[in-house]
Chains A and B, each alone.
Chain A
Amino acid sequence: MTYFVFFLGLGFVLGGLGVASNPSPYYGIVGLVVASVTGCGWLLSLGVSFVSLVLFMVYLGGMLVVFVYSVSLAADPFPEAWGDWRVVGYGLGFVLVLVIGVIVGGFIEGWKLGLVTVDSGGMFSVRLDFSGVALFYSCGVGMFLVAGWGLLLTLFVVLEVVRGLSRGAIRAV
């Protein structure tokens, strides 16, 4: 099970690498989906299932779908995938940066340390039942209202940014 969580952590980094190596946005979205799914699996392994499901529904199901619709504007007739030599070059460069950073930062020697108890093994904490998100509605109601107000404001921001014909913020035509 520990090695499966390792695999999920590795999948998270590879998803981030897939987005960062700047292929055509069609394939960048795939990297983001892979990172989201492995991140959800990782949170599930820690036991916090509510936050994992929030990530799935709000992030994957809401925001990423909106992004996919926006990607349809960036239509390339010949999109460059991860097999393209430029994207491979970027990906290899980022992997090199990562490896050098890990070696120079000394992150390799420290990973075997840690206690092994019934709730954790080595570097993994195992369980937490939480109702902390419910505090969003009781003690944290101020931030709840600020976040709701910010989301409502974003709707009007988007409306005004996209408006054109001499009343718009960016559009010149």
Chain B
Amino acid sequence: MSLLHLSFYSAFALSGLGLAFHRTHLISALLCLESMILSLYIALSIQPVENQATSFTLTPVLILAFSACEAGAGPAILVTSTRTHGSDHLHNLNLLQC
């Protein structure tokens, strides 16, 4: 694997691990999602450059459009959970009534 491919591959893996090992804040998990999408964007931008395939340079712009949708829906859920529970701490998100 080339060195710069390892760079965004490991950034993606680290962000995925950060999403899995979230601790207190919901928004930290959302930030890890954004970091995963950023590394995907870089990967999709580099691939047509290295393969000299000009048509595929529109895929990073497309993933940016859909990630904007996700980056809107995520903070909306954050806002509602904060208004319901008073904070966005993840240990508040339980439906147990006991």
Question: Chain A's interface: helix, strand, loop or mixed, by majority?
Answer: helix
User: Are the C-beta atoms of A147 and B7 separated by less than 8 Å?
Assistant: no
B71 is contacted by which of A36, A67, A102 (Cβ under 8 Å)?
A67
**Separation in Å of the B65 CB from the closest CB of chain A?**
4
Whether A171 and B73, one on each chain, are in contact in the complex, defined by CB atoms closer than 8 angstroms, is no
Contacts of B75 in A (CB 8 A): 66-67, 70
| Chain A interfacial residues counted at CB < 8 A | 87
User: What is the CA–CA distance of A62 and B69 in the complex, to the nearest angstrom?
Assistant: 12
Q: A6-B3, A71-B27 are in contact. Are A39 and B82 (CB under 8 A)?
A: no
Question: What class of interface size applies to chain B in its complex with A?
Answer: 35 or more
Within A1-52, the residues touching B (CB, 8 Å) are: 5-6, 9-10, 12-13, 15-17, 19-25, 28-29, 31-32, 35-36, 39, 42-43, 46-48, 51-52
Q: Using an 8 Å CB-CB cutoff, how does the interface string of A138-173 with B read, 1 for contact, 0 for none?
A: 011001000110110111011001101000111111
Which 10 A-B pairs have CB atoms at the shortest separation, nearest pair first?
A20-B18, A132-B57, A123-B2, A16-B11, A9-B7, A70-B75, A147-B65, A154-B69, A170-B80, A158-B76
> Besides the contacts A22-B18, A32-B31, A48-B45, what 13 more A-B pairs have beta carbons closer than 8 Å?
A12-B42, A22-B28, A46-B49, A52-B45, A55-B60, A67-B31, A74-B82, A90-B21, A102-B10, A123-B4, A136-B61, A151-B69, A162-B80
Q: Footprint of A on B, CB under 8 Å?
A: 1-8, 10-15, 17-19, 21-28, 30-32, 34-35, 38-39, 41-42, 45-46, 48-50, 52, 54-58, 60-62, 64-69, 71-73, 75-84, 87-88
